[in-house]
Amino acid sequence: MILILLGAPGSGKGTQAKRLTEKLGLTHLSTGDILREAVKAGTDLGNKAKGFMNSGELVPDDLIIDMITAKMEENAAGAGFMLDGFPRNLAQAERLSEIFEKKNLVIDQVIYLNAPEAELVKRLSGRFYCPQCNAGYNYPMHLPKNEGVCDNEGEKLLRRPDDEEDVVQKRLSVYREQTSPLEEYYRSQGNLVEIDANTSPDQVTEEIISSVSKVKTA
Ligand code: AP5
C-alpha cells in the first residue's frame, strides 16, 4: 500500500504518520525527518539542505528525489510506504509518478490534512522536542511533567529552528505557492481524500483509518 500525507506545516502529518504506520505496518518516510537527521550528522546532504530548511525554503528537487528514491529502495521489501512531506511541488509529484510507473506501483490514497492557518501557527509556536529521544511536546496541549524538560531523558527541550515565527510565515507561504497545487493535481486523479485536521489527534486518526480501510477492502 502506498499512502501520501499532504498538508501544510503543522497540519499533523508527522503525528498521524507515527500513529498510522504502526497500525498499518507501513514504512514511514518523512523527508523532513531524513533531512533533519542528515543535518544533525553533518553529512554532505545535511550541509547542503540546512540553509534552505532554516529559512523555510524547499530543498532543491534533485537532492530530495535522490534521497527518497534511495530510502524507497532500502525499504522495498516491506508492506508499503507512508510518504510524509513528499512530494512537495508539481515537479516532485511528476518525478514520483514516473518512478512508480517504472516499478508498476500505484498511489492508493493521498490524505490531505486540512486545518486553518491560525491553528497551524498556534501548533507550531507551541511545539518543543527532546534532542536526545526526539519525544514531542506541545504547549499547552501536551506538557512535560517538569517545565522545559523531557519526561524520558531529563534533557532540556528545544524548538525546531524553522518554528520561529518569521520562518513559519515563510513555510506557510511556500506551502500556498508550491505545495497546495498538489491538492488539485491529486483530486483530478481521483485519489485525494480531504480530512478535517482541525479536530483532536484521535479523531483525525479515526477518520484516516476509516478512509484507508475502504482502499484495503476495494
Ligand atoms: P517537514 O519536516 O516536512 O515540515 P512541515 O511540512 O513544515 O511539517 P511539520 O513537521 O512542521 O508539521 P506536521 O504537519 O508534520 O505536523 P506535526 O504532526 O509535527 O519539512 C521541514 C523542511 O524540510 C521544509 O521546510 C523543507 O525545507 C524541507 N523539506 C522537507 N520535505 C521536502 C521536500 N519534499 N522537498 C523540499 N524540501 C523539503 O504537528 C505539529 C504540532 O501540532 C505538534 O506539536 C503536534 O503535537 C501538534 N498537533 C498535531 N496534530 C494536532 C491536532 N489534531 N490538534 C492539536 N495539535 C496537534
Residue-wise pLDDT tens for the chain (218 aa)? 999 999 999 999 999 999 999 889 999 999 999 999 999 999 999 999 999 999 999 999 999 999 999 999 998 888 899 999 999 999 999 999 999 999 999 999 999 999 999 999 999 999 999 999 999 999 988 999 999 999 999 999 999 999 999 999 999 999 999 999 999 999 999 999 999 999 999 999 999 999 999 886 55
The number of C-alpha atoms within 13 Å of 77 and in the hemisphere containing its C-beta is 1
Which residues lie below 8 Å from residue 175, measured CB to CB, with a gap of 6+?
Answer: 8, 9
Q: How many CB atoms lie within 10 A of CB 178?
A: 16
103 grid coordinates: 516499478
The residue among 217, 3, 216 whose CA lies nearest residue 109 is 3
The residue among 32, 69, 34 whose CA lies nearest residue 54 is 32
**53/38 Cα distance (integer angstroms):** 12
Catalytic residue among 36, 50, 71, 88: 88
Walk me through the domains of the chain, giving residue ranges and CATH numbers. 2-116+179-217 (3.40.50.300)
User: What's this model's pTM, rounded to 2 decimal places?
Assistant: 0.96
Cβ < 6 Å from ligand 1: which residues?
7, 9-15, 31-32, 35, 52-53, 56-59, 64, 85-86, 88, 92, 123-124, 127, 136, 138, 141, 162, 171, 197, 200-201, 204
Q: Given the C-alpha cell 503525528, which residue does it identify?
A: 15
